[in-house]
Amino acid sequence: MSHGTPDGARRHERSDEAARHEQTRRERSHESDNQDEALEETFPASDPVSPYVKPSTGR
């Protein structure tokens, strides 16, 4: 029973959807990698040294 779309067209639509999903996944992964790299490059500035010095206990 046909609903107006040949089986080949449905398979093609599914493969297009899978390709778009994979492309989106790659783009998000790339963006995440870029954010991680940017954070690593700015780490010393984003984590300033604390001026607090713990008093010694004399031990």
| Residue 14 lies inside a defined structural domain of this protein | yes
Domain count for the chain: 1
User: On the CB side of 45, how many CA atoms lie within 13 Å of its CA?
Assistant: 5
pTM for this predicted structure: 0.47
| Residue 19 lies inside a defined structural domain of this protein | yes
> Residue 8 to residues 19, 20, 29: CA-CA distances in angstroms?
16, 18, 31
The pLDDT, as a whole number, for residue 21 is 93
| Residue 26 lies inside a defined structural domain of this protein | yes
On the question of pLDDT at 30 being above 80, the answer is yes
Q: What is the 3-state secondary structure (H, E, C) of 1-59?
A: CCCCCCHHHHHHHHHHHHHHHHHHHHHHHHHHHHHHHHHHHCHHHHCCCCCCCCCCCCC
The percent of residues in the chain predicted with pLDDT above 70, rounded, is: 71
The pLDDT, as a whole number, for residue 25 is 94
Q: Which domain holds residue 23?
A: 7-40
Q: Which residue has the higher pLDDT, 44 or 10?
A: 10
| Residue 11 lies inside a defined structural domain of this protein | yes
